[in-house]
Amino acid sequence: MTQQHTTTPSSVWNKVEGLGFGGDYNPEQWPVSVRLEDLELMREAGVNFLSVGIFSWALLEPSEGTYDFGWLDEVMDNLADIGVKVALATATAAPPAWLVRKHPEILPVTADGTVLGPGSRRHYTPSSSAYRRYAAGITRVLAERYKDHPALALWHVDNELGCHISEFHGEEDAAAFRVWLERRYGSIDALNASWGTAFWSQSYGSFAEIMPPSAAPSTLNPGQQLDFQRFSSWALTDYYHCLVAILREVTPEIPCTTNLMASSATKSMDYFAWAKDLDVIANDHYLVAADPERHIELAFSADLTRGIAGGHPWILMEHSTSAVNWQPRNQPKMPGEMQRNSLAHVARGADAVMFFQWRQSFAGSEKFHSAMVPHGGRDTRVWREVVELGAALKRLEPVRGSRVRSRAAIVFDYEAWWAAEIDSKPSIDVKYLDLLRAFHRALFLRGISVDLVHPSDSLEGYDLVLVCTLYAVSDRNAATIAGAAAAGATVLVSYFSGVVDMQDHVRLGGYPGAFRDLLGVRVEEFHPLLAGSQLKLSDGTVSSVWSEHVHLAGAEAVQTFTEYPLEGVPSLTRRAVGSGAAWYLATFPDRDGIESILDTLLDESGVAPVADADPGVELVRRTSDDGHSFLFAINHTRSAAAVAATGTDLLTGAPFSGSVAAGAVAVVAEG
Ligand code: GAL
């Protein structure tokens, strides 16, 4: 569906000066007097970038074909006057009531057949032909109207595609699924072979017989489930393309994006596949207040976003200044936490810091969600911190365009995540992210940067590569991983990796099929642990979730299980490969075990922290192509912490003292 265009969009970074700062701006909720005050406050805070009109369709087109652009014209002109650039939304994230009334078939249908109604938002299915027609209509009208507007810097297509609901089971969705399958397989025989339909009499005679997975007496065909996940992720981008095709035609030089939700909580969209269609990666991230290690989850999400962005600078399109309104208990951010969060995203590659939303609503579902301008106005901690952050970002302008350069990589694949967690596996306790995040956490605590890379990406230049529960892998990608070890990297592969190919067919001859030769092991049988059980390992550490009957076939045992019936069976192995090594981890160690294995791997690979610092300080370095380096030191503790770095702290303009105050951040321009 992607169209060919002769003009390529220019980079958003040519339009937004310095680091972007701002948020979602919903002026349609406010009278003119407030909108004028907004301009003053935006100047005071140093705002230079806003997303406008995300949920404004019903006001822009109050009835079919009748438009009211008065307020948006005024807002765009006023923002241009004060030098603010706009990511203008296509306004399609909430269909107007008249459209639902005329075309109720646009409404989403869930797997159990429930039709989700209007009165909220995102009440459409991306495969609805009527919805696509009307969404394309308003998109074209907006593009034509604002194509030459000086404030327009970026198209914000729809909003958080796949948020709230990401799989759709209506008639048009089923039809689109069938077309997608036919294109993927070419023949029904190929589909039957791929889905293994000889099992349970599931063979299909034609594509017309196929339905999306729905409520069924027992477990559904895993091939059908996996393909429906793939299709559902693709269907959202196909809808995105419909709108982008119009934007490219009318405004070929304006870049397009949509805000992703990359985090440990978003599983349904393959953002690595989406990335090629976005002119710049934009991500939304919200902390879970109840998580005492929420700053580590933030680091994971930001590293994942940088991976999706291929290492290029990205936009933090939304986060919150303080509390959200949608968690069970919405604790505000602690003093200084918003700055630590914002600058942690910058440290990990964001060149724009934006919030949901500019001004806190007085009505509607999100009135208790924090914003840059709180209900209490200017005399509030949040507003003071917003102004401080705006000033800090101004001082950090030299950082713009620089990149995080990591020597460690964690392989990350949404398809492997989906496949690993489809039902009927050896253990429900094997969750794709658990081991992966345990290693990420241990790296975070050591101040070691790590890139999250797709298995089809090159691993050149990485000295340490971690492959965690990569259940499904293609031959080609397994070969890339093996190649990294041969080229000198230390590669660790964990249990439940390489077990199946991308059709979810078991690789026969012993697990972990795709990595057996690389690792020099052969696993005969899985021994998942019962809930709550633990195992003692030969080095005194403890593990849970998983064990298995490993045979050495070229590797050496480094650690073994100690308990019946696997006593003496290897739980950790190493095989020298070329100038590198391939390690196999056959269980899920506890935190001490993870740390001790990681330390061994770090020693072997020579991968070291970016600087020395007291515990509790997050450390990341960004370096520019012309050799400038910036060390971000974020003190998550409530006492001052030492950091071994010399240079100028960009945030204060003074030489860095070697200490970061409690809860504070230093960004040291080194040298
Ligand atoms: C996002 C959404 C915003 C707002 C925000 C609240 O998912 O894009 O519109 O609802 O959450 O946290």
Instruction: Give domain status of residue 195, yes or no.
Output: no
Return the structure tokens found at 146. Answer: 């604002």
Same domain, 157 and 234: yes
Instruction: Give domain status of residue 124, yes or no.
Output: yes
Instruction: List pLDDT tens digits, range 407-442.
Output: 999 999 999 999 999 999 999 999 999 999 999 999
Among 385, 401, 417, where does a domain finish?
Answer: 401
Return the structure tokens found at 585. Answer: 């981890």
Give the model's pLDDT for residue 385.
98
Mutate to test the pocket of ligand 1, among 57, 157, 160 (most ligand atoms within 8 A of CB): 160
| Per-residue confidence band for 608, with pLDDT thresholds at 50, 70 and 90 | very high
Same domain, 336 and 418: no
The whole-number average pLDDT for the span 538-544 is 97
User: What Å distances lie between residue 327 and 166, 286, 291, 317, 331, CA to CA?
Assistant: 20, 10, 12, 20, 9
Annotated catalytic residue within 160, 172, 415, 618: 160
Among 370, 401, 432, where does a domain finish?
Answer: 401
- Taking 50 as the threshold, does the pLDDT of residue 547 lie above it? yes
Return the structure tokens found at 293. Answer: 């290690």
Instruction: Give domain status of residue 207, yes or no.
Output: no
In 3D, which of 301, 250, 248, 311 has the Cα closest to residue 275?
311
The whole-number average pLDDT for the span 79-99 is 98
The whole-number average pLDDT for the span 209-216 is 95
Instruction: Give domain status of residue 202, yes or no.
Output: no
State in Å: Cα 128 to ligand 1 middle: 24
Q: In what helix (H) or strand (E) does residue 305 lie, and over which residues does it extend?
A: helix 294-308
Q: Is the CB of 289 under 6 A from ligand 1?
A: no
The whole-number average pLDDT for the span 248-255 is 98
Same domain, 94 and 129: yes
Same domain, 240 and 91: yes
The whole-number average pLDDT for the span 513-538 is 98
Q: Is the CB of 369 under 6 A from ligand 1?
A: yes
| Per-residue confidence band for 10, with pLDDT thresholds at 50, 70 and 90 | confident
Please name the residue whose Cα sits nearest to atom 3 of ligand 1.
356
Return the structure tokens found at 566. Answer: 């696997």
Annotated catalytic residue within 61, 297, 318, 618: 318
- Taking 60 as the threshold, does the pLDDT of residue 260 lie above it? yes
- Active-site residue flag, 670: no
| Burial (CB count <10 Å: 0-12, 13-18, 19+), residue 61 | buried
Instruction: List pLDDT tens digits, range 477-501.
Output: 999 999 999 999 999 999 999 999 9
Find the CATH number of the domain harbouring 653.
Answer: 2.60.40.1180
Instruction: Give domain status of residue 313, yes or no.
Output: yes
State in Å: Cα 367 to ligand 1 middle: 12
Same domain, 376 and 412: no
Helix (H, G, I), strand (E, B) or coil at 431: coil
Instruction: Give domain status of residue 178, yes or no.
Output: no
Give the model's pLDDT for residue 2.
39
d(Cα 364, Cα 382) in Å, to the nearest integer? Answer: 21
Give the model's pLDDT for residue 6.
55
- Taking 50 as the threshold, does the pLDDT of residue 523 lie above it? yes
Find the CATH number of the domain harbouring 416.
Answer: 3.40.50.880
Same domain, 105 and 46: yes
Same domain, 216 and 150: yes
Q: Is the CB of 288 under 6 A from ligand 1?
A: no
Q: What is the mean pLDDT of the chain?
A: 97
Q: Report the predicted TM-score, pTM, of the whole model to 2 decimal places.
A: 0.98
Mutate to test the pocket of ligand 1, among 50, 56, 158, 366 (most ligand atoms within 8 A of CB): 366
Instruction: Give domain status of residue 191, yes or no.
Output: no
Segments forming the whole domain that contains residue 629: 617-670
Give the model's pLDDT for residue 441.
98
Same domain, 580 and 635: no
The whole-number average pLDDT for the span 631-639 is 98
d(Cα 137, Cα 386) in Å, to the nearest integer? Answer: 37
| Per-residue confidence band for 464, with pLDDT thresholds at 50, 70 and 90 | very high
- Taking 80 as the threshold, does the pLDDT of residue 7 lie above it? no
d(Cα 94, Cα 408) in Å, to the nearest integer? Answer: 41
Same domain, 599 and 643: no
67-73 contact pairs (CB < 8 A, 24+): 67/141, 69/145, 71/27, 71/28, 72/28
Instruction: List pLDDT tens digits, range 20-77.
Output: 999 999 999 999 999 999 999 999 999 999 999 999 999 999 999 999 999 999 999 9
Please tell me the total count of domains within the chain: 3
- Taking 60 as the threshold, does the pLDDT of residue 372 lie above it? yes
Same domain, 339 and 460: no
Instruction: Give domain status of residue 203, yes or no.
Output: no
State in Å: Cα 362 to ligand 1 middle: 16
Give the model's pLDDT for residue 8.
79
Same domain, 550 and 417: yes
The whole-number average pLDDT for the span 141-151 is 98
Instruction: List pLDDT tens digits, range 552-578.
Output: 999 999 999 999 999 999 999 999 999
**Helix, strand, coil content of the chain in percent (nearest 5):** 35, 20, 45
Mutate to test the pocket of ligand 1, among 24, 57, 166, 284 (most ligand atoms within 8 A of CB): 284
Among 340, 368, 401, where does a domain finish?
Answer: 401
- Active-site residue flag, 74: no
Give the model's pLDDT for residue 671.
85
| Per-residue confidence band for 3, with pLDDT thresholds at 50, 70 and 90 | very low
Find out whether 253 and 10 touch, Cβ atoms under 8 Å.
yes
Same domain, 569 and 629: no
Write the DSSP symbol of residue 12. Answer: G
